[in-house]
Homo-oligomer: A and B are copies of this chain.
């Protein structure tokens, strides 16, 4: 979260003169922003956010069939949301027989959390 850019001094400009010079943006932040935005985007749905909330509190103890009745959506839709969370690197799953147990990957939220605080 460094992003220390040089700011052009602000003053009233004469006509024909632009407000500010283009400022070089530090590439450092760019990949970090991509990663954090990906996580934030995955959390940007109420159902997925609540899913993460539930999984953080009952890691490895809840199967998908128990998650379905918590939300007013179909099982395939919930599976889709879990897939999104997994694609974002927030959760992973473990199969045990018929059941699939999801859990939040440790420290998956840390970078965003640190930046936010």
Contacts and interface: CB of A to CB of B under 8 A. Distances in A.
Given A37-B43, A69-B20, A29 B3 contact: no
Interface string A21-40: 11101000110011011101
Identical subunits present: 2
Contacts of A57: 3-4
A33 B50 contact: yes
A61 B113 contact: no
A44 B17 CA distance: 35
Interface residues of A, number: 52
Contacts of A117: 113, 117
Given A20-B66, A30-B46, 15 more contacts: A3-B57, A5-B58, A7-B62, A19-B63, A23-B66, A29-B53, A33-B49, A34-B46, A36-B43, A40-B41, A41-B43, A113-B113, A113-B116, A113-B117, A116-B116
A8 interface: yes
A87 interface: no
